[in-house]
Structure 1
Amino acid sequence: MAPIHGLKAVTTNVGWSVLSKTATFGLKFVTVPILARLLSPEQFGAVAVALTVVQFLAMIGGAGLTSALIVAKDDDIDIVHSVFWANLAMAMAMSLIIYLAAVPLATAMGATEAAGLLRIMAFLIPIQLSGDIAYCILAKRMNFSRDAMWSTISESIAAVVAVAMAYLGYGVWALVVQLFSSAIIRLVGLYFASGYMPRAIMHPRKLVPLLSFSSGVMGSEIANFVTFQSPMIVISRVLGLGDAGAYSVSNRFASIPNQVVLSAVMGVLFPAFSVMGGDRKRRSDALMLSTQVTTVLLAPAMFGLWAVAEPAMLVIFGREWVHAWPVLGLLAFSKALVTPCSTFIPYLKGTGHGRVLFWSAVIRAILTTGAVGLAAAHGGLVEAMIALCVVNAVTLIGYSYVVFRVDKIPFFRGLMTSSKSMISALVMAVCVRLLLQALDGRIENAVLELAIGALVGGVLYALLLLLTERSLLRKLLGLVAARRSGAAA
């Protein structure tokens, strides 16, 4: 892999990734509400539960070998072939386990009705893990434009197919076909883009050097998966598929801004940090700048969604889902609280702090599962979401302390620098929320109410940003000017 020199390669690849995710999740912004109007909460809940099992076992099947392949210094093609066959073997084993144990797995998650879906969706695992090898090759080359193109094509075609099938009355199968269509198209596209073709070569000894890194990554990824997916399992078991569906739809929509920015940024920052790990100043500058920029972009979107959740739920999803507006708002609020942490996982992963990453992820997973479980058992869905907000507030402090200590950045200085725009976004959202409450009863049109909230919030946040983040804005303008002058030269 060619070395990364300066910020140009990172920002270029982040740009490609963000462009791809913006197109992909922009389409989801349209298709998720359409599917929500055509399908029931129970149907969304059944697919969400089945997908949780599949994604979890797919993660174990990968065993972190693909991440280890990205940071490996050796470009031996035999290692790539060996990882491919190891992943495929694990994928087939996981698929067989799911197929044979579908009923007890679905029952354990409180969704016996999802057993049939689970058997079919088990075959997603080999497709996903096979595509990861081609993605790793592109990542080592820092060629994210090809991945961006095929991700956009696959998600777009799959979303259109899903909406068409739901409209024609295929029900839950629209969501299943969407998952398979996206995975298959992306698989074919990535192999075409990378030029990789598997060969019958398998050297288990060459996998041994990858295992020490991959085991730590796998442990942290499992813990992170538990953090993000345990609320679905808890809600399904304790509150039923109806509430699980409400949570699933709200979470899908509330996650769109995060997925647009974070999935793009994290995919690029991981290999970038792995290269600059020995240069502390360069690494620290990249960490703080990337953290500030992602917070500036994400915090207002998430807190803003909390502020306008009630009219947004009615306008976007319709009256059938309007009861779930507090869930949408609280999910957005919980995600907003951890926006400064968005770059911490790729930082710890890329700089080789696997043990720190693992234990941080484990503690967060335990706190999330325990808090949401207790709140759901003694309250309901809204109380579970409030508990998630509390856990994420603790996560912000904990992750910030760990990462700033690893990078030798003073804690309070680092926390204030990274969280300044988040505080501005929170102030903006509270003002918008109070304004909409004051206008309650005076405006009968939910679309107009949503438009007023968005307009006032946008103007207010822009003013607060100019007051509090002038140094960051000057730095970003300087980077843009430098890139333009370099392009002109």
Structure 2
Amino acid sequence: MKHSKQQVKSGFVWSAIDSFGNQGIGLVISLTLANILGPSAYGLVAMLTIFIAIAGVFVNSGFGSALIRKNDRDEKDFSTTFYFSLVVSLTCYSILYLSAPVIAKFYQQTELINLMRVVALTIIINTFAIIPRVKLTVTLNFKNQAKANVAAILCGGFVGLIMAFNGFGAWALVLQQLVSATISVAVLNVLSPWRPIEAFSKNAFKNLFGFGYKLLLSGLLDTIYNNIYGLIIGKHFSATQLGMFNQAHKLSSMPSAMITGVIQKVTYPILSSMQNDSVKLDDAYLKTLKIATMVVFPVMFGLCIIAEPLINLLLGEKWKGSAPLISILSMGLLLYPIHAINLNMLQVKGRSDLFLKIEVIKKIIITFSLIITVPLGITAMCIGMVTTSYLALIINTYYTAKLSSISQSKQLYTLLPIGLITALSAAIGYLSGFRILIDWLSIIIMLAASLFSYIVLMSLFQKKLLVEAKFLLNKTN
């Protein structure tokens, strides 16, 4: 399916509105809840995150990506995906419902039994959003997705805040998730109505599963290891410490995830439509990588230097322990868009086997990192996360280079100058404002000095890249 310039432009605009608007509203609600509830309530809910996330991977099973990539998708594919996902979601919920006492015993937190049995309902609810989201993504219709997401987070946030103010603790976070999922599904099905009109097809299942099962396995590995830190911290440390880590990871990953989400949601279907034209595909891939790096690097370095005054200003003394963790984690999470774009290329090329192989290699590295860092504490674990992120970059770019004309050295050569310029700009910004005792003023001075330095240095040493970025932006107008 070919996409017009207007579709691409609209896709980027509405994807940005969706991501930034959704995350912006969510951030305000989350910070308000964090001030009311404190780290312990967040830690309790975070203990359940890995189980809900793993169930979500099984429900999707890579079928969503397979549907987007498939150019000749039809109603049999959609109906088969829905039936399969619904059965898996019901199975996962049943398992989690029955195993809730075991999970509570593992963490030695009896209140997790009922929390798990309620929050796990989101697994079933989200199943009814899979096909509407896929259909909207294929046509780059992110406007309706934005409406659904904003409505969901507003309604869920309202319920969560009411419950938090009335002393419901962790239940406020659980009901917030449940309401958000329900509203999202309802709005999506109103704006993009869909019902299964075909029977389950074995042929469609085999075709989709043939591509999707490797994404399922790699996604399973990725989800387990993305959440294993919370599992280990929840088991060996207190709920309060897990809450600190979880909030630090959430705040440090949010900017990178938002920007990457905008780029990834729009470019995956576009790159998929170019899968038979290697020259155009490689060119579009490299340009996407450059633009993402130019935007994400300064944002993440900026977050790194303002972490302490930012936490003091937004969350107060009881969350102070999360500030140094944010500074550490942001230095690894700045590579998130590069990882995502590289792995997108593997999916577009139909190499879900390599996708899985890469995930296995990276998880072996993470396992060794955990063995070394867990006895040393949460800070050491965060440093280990950053280290593994840079090792993963080398692995990702190596395999992408094998499938394209863009060598590993060319990718790294593109990233390194921007990284050095950003690091120098951040250092200048930090030195300009770190001694100022007024938090809001310190933040403004640090960011202003960093941004000014970044613009000047980029203009001096990366002028060609800035011109190319400007040309690309004008081209979509």
| Bin of the TM-score, shorter chain as denominator length | over 0.9
**Structure 1 partner of 2:379:** 382
**Structure 1 partner of 2:323:** 325
Cα deviation 1:427-476 (Å, max 9, x = unaligned) = 22233334445x2xxx3222221221111112111212222332222123
Q: Is the 8 A contact 2:107 2:235 kept in 1?
A: yes
**Structure 2 partner of 1:75:** 73
Judging changes above 3 Å, is the alpha-carbon distance between structure 1 residues 190 and 369 closer, same or farther for their aligned structure 2 residues?
farther
CA distance in 2, matches of 1:144, 1:9: 10
* 2:395 pairs with one of 370, 395, 398: 398
**Structure 2 partner of 1:487:** none
Q: Is the 8 A contact 1:299 1:339 kept in 2?
A: no
Cα offset, 1:358, TM superposition? 0.9
**Structure 1 partner of 2:427:** 430
Where do 1:145-164 residues align within 5 Å?
Answer: 145-164=143-162
CA distance in 2, matches of 1:45, 1:374: 24
CA distance in 2, matches of 1:72, 1:482: 27
Where do 1:360-375 residues align within 5 Å?
Answer: 360-375=358-373
Judging changes above 3 Å, is the alpha-carbon distance between structure 1 residues 278 and 200 closer, same or farther for their aligned structure 2 residues?
closer
* Partner amino acid, structure 2, of 1:274: S
Task: Give the aligned length.
Answer: 477
Judging changes above 3 Å, is the alpha-carbon distance between structure 1 residues 427 and 452 closer, same or farther for their aligned structure 2 residues?
same
Cα deviation 1:300-344 (Å, max 9, x = unaligned) = 111111112111111111011112211111111221244433411
* Partner amino acid, structure 1, of 2:406: I
Judging changes above 3 Å, is the alpha-carbon distance between structure 1 residues 41 and 412 closer, same or farther for their aligned structure 2 residues?
same
**Structure 2 partner of 1:3:** 2
* 1:121 pairs with one of 114, 119, 125: 119
Cα deviation 1:21-80 (Å, max 9, x = unaligned) = 110111123222211111121210111121221121121122222222222233331331
**Structure 2 partner of 1:57:** 55
Q: Is the 8 A contact 1:234 1:372 kept in 2?
A: no
* Partner amino acid, structure 2, of 1:457: S
Worse-matched range after superposition: 314-323 or 204-213: 204-213
* Partner amino acid, structure 2, of 1:248: N
Structure 1 segments unaligned to the other structure (5+ residues):
485-489
CA distance in 1, matches of 2:141, 2:349: 21
Q: Is the 8 A contact 1:291 1:342 kept in 2?
A: no
Q: Does 1:26 align with 2:19?
A: no
Q: Is the 8 A contact 2:64 2:134 kept in 1?
A: yes
CA distance in 2, matches of 1:112, 1:353: 44
**Structure 1 partner of 2:173:** 175
Cα offset, 1:126, TM superposition? 1.0
CA distance in 1, matches of 2:469, 2:267: 18
Q: Is the 8 A contact 1:239 1:376 kept in 2?
A: no
Q: Is the 8 A contact 2:75 2:197 kept in 1?
A: no
* Partner amino acid, structure 1, of 2:220: I
**Structure 1 partner of 2:38:** 40
Q: Is the 8 A contact 2:8 2:476 kept in 1?
A: no
* Partner amino acid, structure 1, of 2:447: A
Cα RMSD after superposing both structures: 2.0
CA distance in 1, matches of 2:473, 2:260: 21
**Structure 2 partner of 1:202:** 200
* 2:415 pairs with one of 418, 431, 449: 418
Judging changes above 3 Å, is the alpha-carbon distance between structure 1 residues 170 and 105 closer, same or farther for their aligned structure 2 residues?
closer
* Partner amino acid, structure 1, of 2:456: L
CA distance in 1, matches of 2:380, 2:398: 28
Q: Is the 8 A contact 2:257 2:336 kept in 1?
A: no
Cα offset, 1:189, TM superposition? 1.4
TM-score with structure 1 length normalisation? 0.92
* Partner amino acid, structure 1, of 2:290: Q
CA distance in 1, matches of 2:395, 2:73: 37
Judging changes above 3 Å, is the alpha-carbon distance between structure 1 residues 31 and 422 closer, same or farther for their aligned structure 2 residues?
farther
Percentage of pairs with the same residue: 22
CA distance in 2, matches of 1:98, 1:273: 37
* 2:232 pairs with one of 231, 234, 251: 234
Q: Is the 8 A contact 2:132 2:188 kept in 1?
A: yes
Cα deviation 1:74-96 (Å, max 9, x = unaligned) = 33313312221111011001000
Judging changes above 3 Å, is the alpha-carbon distance between structure 1 residues 465 and 106 closer, same or farther for their aligned structure 2 residues?
farther
SS at structure 2 position matched to 1:277:
coil
Where do 1:266-277 residues align within 5 Å?
Answer: 266-277=264-275
**Structure 1 partner of 2:242:** 244
Q: Does 1:13 align with 2:11?
A: yes
**Structure 2 partner of 1:343:** 341
Judging changes above 3 Å, is the alpha-carbon distance between structure 1 residues 12 and 471 closer, same or farther for their aligned structure 2 residues?
farther
Judging changes above 3 Å, is the alpha-carbon distance between structure 1 residues 167 and 234 closer, same or farther for their aligned structure 2 residues?
same
Cα offset, 1:360, TM superposition? 1.1
**Structure 1 partner of 2:448:** 455
CA distance in 2, matches of 1:75, 1:23: 31
CA distance in 2, matches of 1:48, 1:100: 19
Q: Is the 8 A contact 1:162 1:174 kept in 2?
A: yes
TM-score with structure 2 length normalisation? 0.94
Cα offset, 1:10, TM superposition? 3.4
* 1:286 pairs with one of 261, 284, 308: 284
**Structure 1 partner of 2:185:** 187
Q: Is the 8 A contact 1:257 1:302 kept in 2?
A: yes
Worse-matched range after superposition: 15-24 or 368-377: 368-377
Cα offset, 1:350, TM superposition? 1.9
**Structure 2 partner of 1:407:** 404
Q: Is the 8 A contact 2:50 2:224 kept in 1?
A: no
SS at structure 1 position matched to 2:140:
coil
* Partner amino acid, structure 2, of 1:400: T
Q: Is the 8 A contact 1:51 1:118 kept in 2?
A: no
* Partner amino acid, structure 1, of 2:144: R
Worse-matched range after superposition: 344-353 or 164-173: 164-173
SS at structure 1 position matched to 2:194:
coil
Q: Is the 8 A contact 2:36 2:164 kept in 1?
A: yes
Worse-matched range after superposition: 312-321 or 257-266: 257-266
